Structure 1
């Protein structure tokens, strides 16, 4: 047989195509195993093959990820940049401060007044860091690997919202300590809104969005527009079903809250399903109503009165509250509030209620520099205190440091003497004798002679003497009786009757002047006794103006005011030896203040 020819490596086999010769065993490379370290020495390489470093390299599996994700050294998945993934979550301790885990970046947003999602404050430090850093989770969608950022927004129940807002308040108080009452007031408002309507979360959301545009505004003032829209009005329940509003609940298995009102309750009829009725037993117009009660035998009782709008009740309540103050006190408080607003405007301070303690101290310092009397400063602070109490907010005027500032003002001013001069009987005679010369007509001279003599002998305040009505006077030849229905020390109208005897000197005798004035007084006049010829009542300004004219007519020196009649009569009685107890009764004083009126 002819010898066999050796097969050339380039020869083509009919069945297998081009042949392939395996390299010798010495030249074969072992297949690297996963996660093994292989030292690859630099040898002769073909053109186009990458060069290898002599340093050992770690072969990491990429699991089919893209090249940029598989390269750990150049990606965001390096060990160094993801150490937070391996940091354990610290346990919350009862000794920790509220909001201790809140990072500084989020605190700066809160201090800056920016809007934040309150649900962030209930998460752990790692979750807050991931939410602020924009990190997400790796997910495969449509065959592609992508990073999906988790949605941090979620609906909070009122209990969780309260916990979150307490953390928010703690962070704010680290920088704004004087605004604590504002946050407590806002928390109370939201919890009250949650008890009335399911629209409380929309109110909170819109309120804080509006607050971000004006961070200096007070948290304690209710936004009436949002309250009417989401809490008190029909929008309170419509906001839950409207398609263009955010859904308050998310996830499966969550039952939405009932937002409809019971028809029978609103019609004043008996609800057979109460107290397990699925609908709300409240007025559908204002959100408030009388809740039906259950009797002892557990049978529901019908609401016997149909609900009606509460607007007229609110107006009546406001009328009663306003009537709790006298006209003079209301006028004084209005002037005090006006002065406080001028102070804020002068120094560029934003008006905030409750007024912070710093603002109150600065206001008292301003009054001290302006030379305001101590009693006037007390009046201003009392007016601010009344406003706080009537609004139901924290009254910072009662704080220890504010009281000490007022006490320091009192000490710096010392005891100031009353500058008003007593108008004694001798001066009264001069005043009455000058009235025919300073008045425009004889009628006016008789009118003010009667006024001045009654004010002196009756120890009457100007507000008392000008409000005397004709029916309050009973007259005889020897005395006159005047009924005082209400006074400064008798705010509830217990009434007091004054008996003034006839005086020997007709120039100042009130009985003589009342009889003379009755003959000149117009008929069918109004109920007020002291009126002009045109049937209009005498004002406080006219009383003081004619008094000053008569004093100037005789060039009498002194600081005379309408209260000088009361001071002068108390001084004359003391000079005549009348006991202090009797002077106190005649002047209707309920304290020892009358002693300041006696000038011996």
Structure 2
């Protein structure tokens, strides 16, 4: 029936061939879950009266909202409920028993889990004290322990075991299984996938071969490279596991394998070989030394030259000697003044850098980078000690500009490219990783054993071989050696 007189303007929507007059709400959002449950009981009763077959799905929807209200703070779960019901009014085929991941992503973006709603008896966050089996024993609530804030169950003898699994703990450890940088790239892929299938009203999970084939084709048309698409599949695998679906056997999808191979062949035909990053060689280091020595009156020149030699002779990634942003310094992860030590204060022959976190150290055990004297003009020990004498023992990041700002990765690459251009070198194919590539290439050219190169660069596999750039003239000499 049409809206009553004097009410707010109505929006006419069609549901199963019937006109629905939806009046804009004039009241505030529902303040808590008990109030929502009371309202939803009336709402679902009206729907079940018209559509009795929807009773089961509506009860499951009520269970989903109860679960979301325990995981996320108000009003994010209310926003999800409003958005879901609004979209369901437009689409009669909406399955109310399943969580809509598109609406979920928009409603709970950057929302934190509730951590202060817990059971005082067993310390679980999946139920309240009144619903805990310990409550029936009559024992007084235990004080929440500081060392283990979310234990799975109480250690009281002869007490019933709470079988409700602590989902907050599980999600926390699942989240910690990959690095923050991987999280950022995975989130981008997952958001793109969910957005695509939400727009065409297809349930994105569980993963299906047809869905992945369409997604790969969509990415290829958007000029996403073959290697990035493969990384996107890893992100989608994690998305499926995070929602408790079975392991997706992506590698066993035959049609998807053919589609991905087709994308790879087409991109190789169109673009040819992607230009590789060039290595920083000893000759280039000599030119950079002359460049920075000419600016020895600038404190920043000492700092940049120390960073260059440390990165090269330490086989380090540029991200290990720089910060992602000026405000990102974390003493527990990044290099500081206290992380530099020498073997002898009066006549140091080597410098030790304590690297607290790195790409190949997900468990934060830390690793010690040892850099020795070279007894020539490129000596990294002399460069680093000269810079530290100017820097002093100020707290903060190890490499600081004269104005106190830390050395970020983007600014490091910018400064190096500027220096390369000023010494007559095309800097377009040089990046932060060029130092690590150059160190591996130079070590191989000097006849250092592969196992030593792998150890110096902290490579866990034979991936270090991809970093070694053998000059073409040296490759050409092998022909005469073979023919001899």
TM range (shorter): 0.5 to 0.7
> In structure 2, do the counterparts of structure 1 residues 291 and 481 end up closer, same or farther at CA, with 3 Å as the change threshold?
same
2:188 is equivalent to residue 332 of structure 1: no
8 Å Cα contact 2:120-2:141 kept in structure 1: no
Match among 545, 564, 571 for residue 414 of structure 2: 545
Match for residue 474 of structure 1? Answer: 341
Match among 86, 90, 97 for residue 213 of structure 1: 90
Match among 203, 209, 231 for residue 379 of structure 1: 231
**TM-score, normalized by length of structure 1?**
0.50
How far apart are the structure 2 equivalents of 1:283 and 1:431? 58
CA deviations over 1:400-459 (Å, ceiling 9, x no partner): 1434433443455569566110111111221232246689x7111111100010000001
How far apart are the structure 1 equivalents of 2:65 and 2:184? 36
> In structure 2, do the counterparts of structure 1 residues 478 and 216 end up closer, same or farther at CA, with 3 Å as the change threshold?
farther
Match among 200, 204, 210 for residue 353 of structure 1: 204
Please state how far the C-alpha of 1:573 moved relative to its aligned partner.
0.6
How far apart are the structure 1 equivalents of 2:274 and 2:197? 31
Please state how far the C-alpha of 1:549 moved relative to its aligned partner.
0.4
Aligned positions of 1:400-479 closer than 5 A: 400=253, 401-413=255-267, 419-435=276-292, 442-466=298-322, 467-475=334-342, 476=344, 477-479=348-350
Match for residue 219 of structure 2? Answer: 367
Please state how far the C-alpha of 1:472 moved relative to its aligned partner.
1.6
Q: 2:371 is paired with a residue of what secondary structure?
A: strand
Q: What is the root-mean-square deviation in Å for CA atoms of aligned residues?
A: 4.6
How far apart are the structure 1 equivalents of 2:195 and 2:85? 29
Match for residue 388 of structure 1? Answer: 240
> In structure 2, do the counterparts of structure 1 residues 530 and 382 end up closer, same or farther at CA, with 3 Å as the change threshold?
same
CA deviations over 1:108-137 (Å, ceiling 9, x no partner): xxxx97499xxxxxxxxxxxxxxxxxxxxx
How far apart are the structure 2 equivalents of 1:492 and 1:284? 28
Query: Can you give the 5+ residue segments of structure 2 that lack an aligned partner in the other structure?
Result: 1-13, 19-47, 71-80, 105-118, 151-166, 323-333, 471-484
8 Å Cα contact 1:502-1:511 kept in structure 2: yes
CA deviations over 1:566-588 (Å, ceiling 9, x no partner): 00110011111111111111111
**TM-score, normalized by length of structure 2?**
0.61
Please state how far the C-alpha of 1:317 moved relative to its aligned partner.
6.6
Q: 2:353 is paired with a residue of what secondary structure?
A: strand
8 Å Cα contact 2:341-2:352 kept in structure 1: yes
Match for residue 254 of structure 1? Answer: none
Match for residue 290 of structure 1? Answer: 132
2:364 is equivalent to residue 493 of structure 1: yes
Match for residue 161 of structure 2? Answer: none
Q: Which has the higher contact order (CA 8 A, sep 6+)?
A: 2
8 Å Cα contact 2:337-2:394 kept in structure 1: no
How far apart are the structure 1 equivalents of 2:240 and 2:62? 16
Aligned positions of 1:277-316 closer than 5 A: 286=128, 289-292=131-134, 301-305=137-141
8 Å Cα contact 2:292-2:301 kept in structure 1: yes
How far apart are the structure 2 equivalents of 1:497 and 1:591? 19
CA deviations over 1:232-279 (Å, ceiling 9, x no partner): xxxxxxxxxxxxxxxxxxxxxxxxxxxxxxxxxx997xxxxxxxxxxx
2:425 is equivalent to residue 556 of structure 1: yes
Please state how far the C-alpha of 1:545 moved relative to its aligned partner.
0.5
> In structure 2, do the counterparts of structure 1 residues 352 and 551 end up closer, same or farther at CA, with 3 Å as the change threshold?
farther
